[in-house]
């Protein structure tokens, strides 16, 4: 698949996963409507649009949308499910300690996901 098409599809998936819509992104970034839809279709100059999207969503990696195996953020439903699980499992008085443990586990999982692309370098 063409790189520009991959970028367009990744942007579409990302916007959906964070629970936003195209109009919201257009309004927040100031990207002209036609330019934004060209971006989603993998057409035209991607660089300025990608910069604005990265800034809007706080994405530090300038090549985030260019990868074929994009790691999407958690959806709102997934975050709510985790919060419900925490509330269910955490006993009164132990909630802070439980939350700390879950945060450490979450950080560890993120580190593993970041290192996964490098496992076959040897």
- Which pLDDT belongs to residue 121? 62
- The answer to whether residue 71 sits within a structural domain is no
pLDDT tens, 76-87?
566 667 767 666
Distance CA 3, CA 92 (A): 51
Distance CA 36, CA 85 (A): 38
- The answer to whether residue 106 sits within a structural domain is yes
State whether 25 and 80 are in the same domain.
no
State whether 10 and 31 are in the same domain.
yes
| Of the candidates 68, 75, 14, the residue with the CA atom closest to the CA atom of residue 39 | 14
pLDDT tens, 20-53?
899 999 999 999 999 999 999 999 888 889 999 9
Distance CA 115, CA 20 (A): 29
pLDDT tens, 93-120?
567 777 788 888 888 888 887 777 766 6
- Which pLDDT belongs to residue 89? 62
Range of the domain at 38: 3-66
What are the φ/ψ torsions at residue 21 (nearest 5 degrees)? -120, 170
Q: How far is CA 59 from CA 7, 32, 51, 54, 55, in A?
A: 14, 21, 9, 5, 6
Q: Both ends of the chain: CA-CA distance in Å?
A: 27
State whether 15 and 53 are in the same domain.
yes
Among 23, 42, 66, where does a domain finish? 66
State whether 15 and 45 are in the same domain.
yes
The answer, yes or no, to whether residue 90 has pLDDT greater than 80, is: no
Q: How many structural domains are present in the chain? A: 2
């Amino acid at each position: 698949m063409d790189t520009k098409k991959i970028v367009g599809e990744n942007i579409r998936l990302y916007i959906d996963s964070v629970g936003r819509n195209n109009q919201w992104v257009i309004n927040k970034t100031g990207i002209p409507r036609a330019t934004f839809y060209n971006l989603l279709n993998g057409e035209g100059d991607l660089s300025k649009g990608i910069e604005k999207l990265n800034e809007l969503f706080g994405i530090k990696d300038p090549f985030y949308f260019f990868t074929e195996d994009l790691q999407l953020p958690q959806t709102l439903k997934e975050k709510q499910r985790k919060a419900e699980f925490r509330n269910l499992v955490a006993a009164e008085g132990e909630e802070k300690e439980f939350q700390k443990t879950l945060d450490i586990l979450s950080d560890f999982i993120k580190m593993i996901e970041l290192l996964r692309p490098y496992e076959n370098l040897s």
